[in-house]
Amino acid sequence: MSSYSHGTSGTSLLGDTIGANLDRAVARWPEREALVDVPSGRRWTYGEFAADVEELAYALMASGVAKGDRVGIWAINCPEWVLVQYATARIGAIMVNINPAYRTHEVEYVLNQAGISLLFASLSHKTSDYRAMVGEVRGKCPQLRETVFIGDPSWDALLTRATPAPYPELSCDDPINIQYTSGTTGFPKGATLSHHNILNNGYFVGELISYTEQDRICIPVPFYHCFGMVMGNLAATSHGACMVIPAPSFDPKATLEAVQQERCTSLYGVPTMFIAELNDPDFATYDLSSLRTGIMAGSPCPVEVMKRVVAEMHMAEVSICYGMTETSPVSLQTRRDDDLEHRTGTVGRVLPHIEVKVVDPATGVTQPRGKAGELCTRGYSVMLGYWNEPGKTAESIDAGRWMHTGDLAVMREDGYVEIVGRIKDMIIRGGENIYPREIEEFLYAHPKIADVQVVGVPHERYGEEVLACVIARDPADPPTLEEVRAFCEGRLAHYKVPSRLQVLESFPMTVSGKVRKVELRERYAAGQE
C-alpha cells in the first residue's frame, strides 16, 4: 500500500470570507463571550466584539487602507491584535504578522518586502522598545505612512476617524494574511494565505476536537503565529467559542491561573510550555478540572509529558497537530479518542479535504507505507505562494500543487504519520541515518533529565557525532556523559548513543516556542563548551 492518504469528509468546506463567517457567529450567539483578556480584565460578547471590529474596519478605510493593501502588526498578545486580525479581513486588507522578537534589521526587511503602509505596534515588551525601533527604521521604509501604537493615544486617534462606508466586495480566495517563516539562512519568506486557507483550517481543527459555543480556549501561544491566530482565534469564532488571553507572552503561572479563573475547556501549547506548567511549584494547587481538550503542536510530545497532561491536567481529549505556516498550518491531527501511543508516536492522520503523501526526496516517487521519505501535502490549505517570490514558491510547491515540507516522515498501515526528523536535521554518522527524535524520546526517561534536544555536530572520522543537550531535573545534580551512556548501553544501537553531552539551563527558542536546533548545532560545532 502506498504512503498516500486523502481526508474524505461529510462536512463541506466553508466558502465564506472571515467577515461573513464572523457575522454568522454573531447572529447565533450575540450574548456569548467571544474574547477575554485576563491581564486587563476586559471582556467582549460576540455582539460587542463585532461592533469593535466594525469600528476599526471603518477607521482603517477612512485612513486610506484599501483592499489588498498591507497592514503590519508587530505586537505581543492583546485584544487589539485580535481586533486588527478581523478588521483587516473585513475590508480585504492583507495583515502582515511580524514576530515581536524581531529587531530593526529584520523589521525593516519585512516592512519593505511586504510594502506595509500602516503598522500597528506594541509600545514595549521586556527588552523591546518598539516605538524607538520604528523611529530608527521609518526613514528607510518609504511605503510606511502611519504607525499606530497599541495602548497609546494614536490608537484612539485612529478610531475617531471611523466613518460608516460600504465594505469592498471580497472573494474567499483573496489573500488576507502574510506570515514570515523564520529562515535559518537568509531572510524569511512571506507565506501568503487566503480567507479560504486559514478559515477552513481553523474550522476543521476545531471540528476534530468537537468545539461548540460552550468551549473556552486558553491561548498562551503567540497570535503572530498560525497556532494562535488560526488554530486559536479562527477555530474559536467559527464555533462560537471564547478566546482567552492569559498573558502578553507565555507565562506558566499566568496560564494556569487563567484556566482556573475562566474555567477554560481547552489549552494550547508546545510541549515545552506544558512541561513548564507541570513543573510549576504550585501546579497541584490549581483547579484545572474544567479542561477536557487542547492542542499540542510545534514539536513531538514526550510520552511521560502526555501521560501527565491527560492525568493531571484533565485533558483526556488533547490533540496533537502537525503543520507548517505554508499549509495554514495543520495537515495532520490526532483524534479525540486516539490512544496514548498514537498521540505520542504519531502526529495523527490527514485532516478532512487534504491529501498527504510520503515520497522519496531524490525521485519524488511515493514510498510504500512504513518507509521514510519527505512528507508532502496538497489541498485547500496550501498557501497562495511566498509574497513577491515566485522562484522560492516554485522550490516549495511543485507543478502538481504539492507542498514539500522538508520533513522526514513514515506513514503507518493505518494512515497515521510519524515525523522522524527534518531532512536537514537528520544525523548521518559513518553512513548510518540517525533520527534525533528517537534518541530524545529515549532520554526523556532518564531520571536526571527534564528536557533534551539531540543534534548532530561535525566529527573528523564519522562525519557527524551525536550531541545530547539536556536540562537537568535538579540543577545541583546534573547527569554526566558516563551516566547517559550507561543508560543507553544495550538499549540503543551503539551509533545512536550520544558521544557528547551539554547540560544547559535553557534551550534557545523561537518566539513561537520551538527549540532552535540550528543554534545548538552552531554553538557546539567547533567543540566549544
Q: With both helix axes pointing from N to C terminus, report the angle between 46-62 and 79-91 in degrees, rounded to the nearest 10.
A: 60
Rounded (5°) CA angle 522-527-529: 90
Q: Are strands 146-149 and 116-121 parallel, antiparallel or unpaired?
A: parallel
Q: How confident is the model at residue 477 (pLDDT cuts 50, 70, 90)?
A: very high
E-strand ranges in 215-289 read 216-218, 242-245, 266-269
How far is residue 138's CA from residue 130's CA, in Å, rounded to a whole number? 12
User: Which residues is 74 bridged to in the sheet?
Assistant: 121
- pLDDT of 56 > 50? The answer is yes
Asked if omega into 248 is within 30° of 0 (cis), the reply is no
Which domains are present in the chain? 23-31+48-170 (3.40.50.980), 425-524 (3.30.300.30)
Residue 44 DSSP code: E
pLDDT on residue 512: 58
pLDDT tens for each residue of 82-136: 999 999 999 999 999 998 988 898 899 999 999 999 999 999 998 899 999 999 9
CA 277 to chain centre: 18
E-strand ranges in 343-416 read 349-350, 354-359, 373-379, 385-386, 403-411
Nearest Cα residue to 401 out of 326, 348, 332, 351: 326
pLDDT tens for each residue of 20-54: 999 999 999 999 999 999 999 999 999 999 999 99
Nearest Cα residue to 306 out of 339, 281, 331, 261: 339
Contact 94, 102 (CB under 8 A): no
User: How many other CB atoms are found less than 10 A from the CB of residue 137?
Assistant: 20
Give whichever of 179-183, 448-452, 462-466, 516-520 has the largest mean pLDDT.
448-452
**Beta carbons within 8 Å of 326's beta carbon, 6+ residues apart:** 181, 191, 382, 383, 396, 403
How far is residue 305's CA from residue 247's CA, in Å, rounded to a whole number? 23
CA distances from 522 to 184, 438, 478, 510, 517 (A): 11, 22, 23, 15, 9
How far is residue 378's CA from residue 355's CA, in Å, rounded to a whole number? 5
Nearest Cα residue to 298 out of 456, 182, 218: 182
How far is residue 470's CA from residue 185's CA, in Å, rounded to a whole number? 26
Number of continuous H segments (helices) and E segments (strands) in the chain: 17, 28
pLDDT on residue 528: 52
Indicate the SS3 state at residue 501. strand
pLDDT on residue 480: 97
pLDDT tens for each residue of 204-245: 999 999 999 999 999 999 999 999 999 999 999 999 999 999
Sign of CA dihedral 347, 320, 222, 24: positive
pLDDT tens for each residue of 272-313: 899 999 999 999 999 999 999 999 998 778 889 999 999 999
